[in-house]
Amino acid sequence: MNWQAAINLNRDALLRVLGTLLAMTTPHLSRQSRSAILRVLRPAESAARRLIVIAARLYKEAPRKPAPIAQSNRLPNFAAFKPTAKTPRFKLFDPRKRLIEFQKPKQTSKFMPRISVIGVSTPLFYTAKPPRELTAKHLCQRLAALQEALNDLPKQAKRLARQLEKRKTASAGPRRVPPLRPGLPPGYRSNPAHEVDALLKECHRLALYALEPPT
């Protein structure tokens, strides 16, 4: 299996998807635009994590010779998305599913009774709150973190390898979980609606194959 060729092929495709997301993002987004970007960003992040898992295997096999990445394939660091000291690092581990106990919702009254008597009381009318303004700050940080990770996969592979070594000696609990969560990856859709859905499916398959113990 030519792992490096598989990494380069899927990484280039993810960079194209990321370039489209960067072009769509503005400082102020509508709720519909933000939802549309997140529907593509979540599976793109999951696919990138799986490429890093595969790259970590290559780094483990040959730690002194990380695979080079062509400079021409890098995305330009746009001013609005240039990684800074405040930009969070790309998350190497899948978010875990939260099991929330079913709780009966509290029955609370949100509105005052609108009962009035003509000539005695003043009618009460409900005043709708103005829509909350959505900013793209957090979204831009996630895009910048993903961009930085895809531009330097060997660096992310070293990060993952170091964290996995530390987790070998950690006590049982959340600090011992693997980078990929069981079951379907975050952002997975059974009915593909975008190019990134096929990329996530392929990267997930390759990552599971890379994690299989040698026979």
153 token code pair: 């996969």
Average pLDDT, the chain: 80
pLDDT at 209 over 50: yes
What average pLDDT does the segment 52-70 reach? 68
Query: Which residue has better confidence, 18 or 80?
Result: 18
pLDDT at 75 over 80: no
Give Rg (Cα) of the chain: 23
In this prediction, residue 79 carries a pLDDT of: 42
pLDDT at 31 over 50: yes
Query: Which tens digit of pLDDT belongs to each residue from 78-94?
Result: 444 455 556 789 999 99
**Which of 21-25, 62-66, 169-173 has the weakest average pLDDT?**
62-66
**Which of 14-18, 94-98, 127-131, 184-188 has the weakest average pLDDT?**
127-131
Spatial distance between the Cα atoms of 194 and 36, rounded to a whole number of angstroms: 11
- pLDDT category of residue 200 using cuts at 50, 70 and 90: very high
pLDDT at 66 over 60: no
In this prediction, residue 178 carries a pLDDT of: 87
Query: Which tens digit of pLDDT belongs to each residue from 99-131?
Result: 655 555 555 555 555 666 666 666 655 566 665
